[in-house]
Structure 1
Amino acid sequence: MDRQLLSAIAHRDHPIAAPVSETNLDRLLRRAALPEGARILDLGCGEGEWSLRALELVPSAVADGVDISPYALSSAERAAGARGPSDRLSLHSMPAAEFSASEPYDLVLCLGSTHAFGGLKETMDGLARFVRPGGLALVGEAFWERPPAPEIVEALGDYSDLAGTVEAAESKGWLTVYAHVSDLAEWDEYEWSWTGTLARWAAGNPGPDGEQALAAVREHRDMWLNGYRGVLGFVSLLLQRG
């Protein structure tokens, strides 16, 4: 089964696609205090929930969304049409690291997509190409709440602790002006939505794809409940470019 399709199905009931509640998503975007006519770039936009909410908060803003998943981009296009700002959201099917623009942005979003640039420090370098002087980046990154078991590091990759994550984000001359650390309730809502939505789809689609989806549910849920629950954290950093 196409892994991008599997991911798109799993995120249908949680289009934020990160362990962040709607309330805290709003809080982060409001803290950005975007100006009228703001230009927004969302790298790894998924279903476009972050961009769409920013466009709703600033009705004169425009946004570009970039992602490699055709399924996520189709969902973003449908959501934009249903919610109104389709004429202010341009979607681009390409790797985030390959996107280019002729004008700078007031806010660049990169939530849970730093792997597209090769890591957090490399992401901050990449985002600096797009953000105007004094502009903002909103970056979501995982970190270790407490030391993980070796098999969890092997499965998920290695991260820093929270202090090290902030230090890495600021190492390229950025300044953290606000942040939100996701709590356990936000993580549980995200994980139960991911596994539950995919499990329901698998039950309604018997056959090889359904079996593969159900296997992915069980593997993911086991790693979460018996491995990284309460160990892996997520921080959304609002950073200003010098």
Structure 2
Amino acid sequence: MDRQRISRLAHAHHPIAAPLADGSVARLLERALGGRETGRVLDLGCGEGAWLLRALTARPGWRAVGVDVDEAALTRARESATALGVARRIGLHHRDAREFTDREPFDLVLCVGATHAFGGLLPTLAAARKLLAPGGRLMIGEGFWEREPSRAALDGLGAEPADFADLATTTDRILADGWTPVYGHVSTDREWDDYEFSWTGSLAEWALDHPEHPDAAAAREAADRHREGWLHGYRGTLGFVTQLLRRD
């Protein structure tokens, strides 16, 4: 069972692919869109387009572009855009986000929970810089260590200590790269637990509802493995911060 299909099933009831509650998403988007009634927003690693669809619904004068390597997720994004009546204001591209270019810069660039697509935080900042209009904003969501990771936490994530830093160091690296945080949100324990229970539960439930499907056993195994890694490993160790940035 490929990773993209696992992710789609796991996010069936939590379309924002990050530990963020609906209220947090709404506040972040409101700050990111600012007082502008028109503009262009880009999501690098958009998945099913949850951020973009919310932005377009909130601001009828905005247009959106999404980029992702999961073609099935983009198909769902198109279907959702049509159902919401915003299909004419969104363009979706099936390609590696690292290869995306556009002749017209964007007023807002999003990359929340997808910095791995670029190889980490700093390469993501570099990529976004090339796509952002003067005075534009970048909203980036990144993991950080709440505490020194144990071996169990690292094994649960399939990570190494250098993959993340603590929150202060993460923010210092952003500042040193010429960006200024103008807003932010650190995901709460409740948001994390809701996200992880939704992720593992949605995947496990799909397996229970489709016992004859050839992928059922693999889906259940993936859910069980993820739950084990979370509850016996990185719960309380891995944090997540979403920051709204501007260039100096």
TM-score range with shorter-chain normalisation?
over 0.9
Question: Does the C-alpha gap of structure 1 residues 163 and 108 become closer, same or farther in structure 2, counting only changes over 3 Å?
Answer: same
Distance 1:63 1:171 in 2: 29
The CA deviation at 1:35 is 1.5
Instruction: Pick from 180, 188, 192 the counterpart of residue 193 of structure 2.
Output: 188
Distance 1:170 1:75 in 2: 36
Q: Does 1:9 align with 2:14?
A: no
The CA deviation at 1:151 is 4.2
Query: How many residues in Structure 1 have an aligned counterpart in Structure 2?
Result: 242
Contact 1:34 1:58 in 2 (8 A): no
2:159 partner letter: L
Distance 2:35 2:245 in 1: 13
The CA deviation at 1:111 is 0.6
Distance 1:84 1:149 in 2: 48
Q: Does 1:202 align with 2:207?
A: yes
Contact 2:145 2:238 in 1 (8 A): yes
Distance 1:151 1:98 in 2: 35
Q: Deviations over 1:89-131 (max 9, x none)?
A: 1100001110000011110000111111111011101100011
Instruction: Say which SS state the counterpart of residue 98 (structure 2) adopts.
Output: helix
- Structure 2 gaps of 5+ residues are none
Distance 1:108 1:57 in 2: 17
The CA deviation at 1:36 is 2.2
- Structure 1 gaps of 5+ residues are none
The CA deviation at 1:152 is 2.7
The CA deviation at 1:87 is 0.9
1:221 maps to what in 2? 227
Distance 2:11 2:231 in 1: 19
What stretches of structure 1 move > 6 A for 4+ residues in a row?
A: none
2:234 partner letter: Y
2:240 maps to what in 1? 234
| RMSD, aligned CA | 1.2
TM-score for both structures, normalised by structure 2 = 0.94
Q: Does 1:175 align with 2:183?
A: no
Q: Deviations over 1:42-94 (max 9, x none)?
A: 00001111111111221100000000011211221121112221111110000
Distance 1:79 1:73 in 2: 10
2:104 maps to what in 1? 103
Q: Percent identity?
A: 50
2:73 maps to what in 1? 72
Instruction: Using the TM superposition, name which of 98-107 and 162-171 deviates more.
Output: 162-171
2:164 maps to what in 1? 159
Distance 1:171 1:73 in 2: 35
Q: Does 1:23 align with 2:23?
A: yes
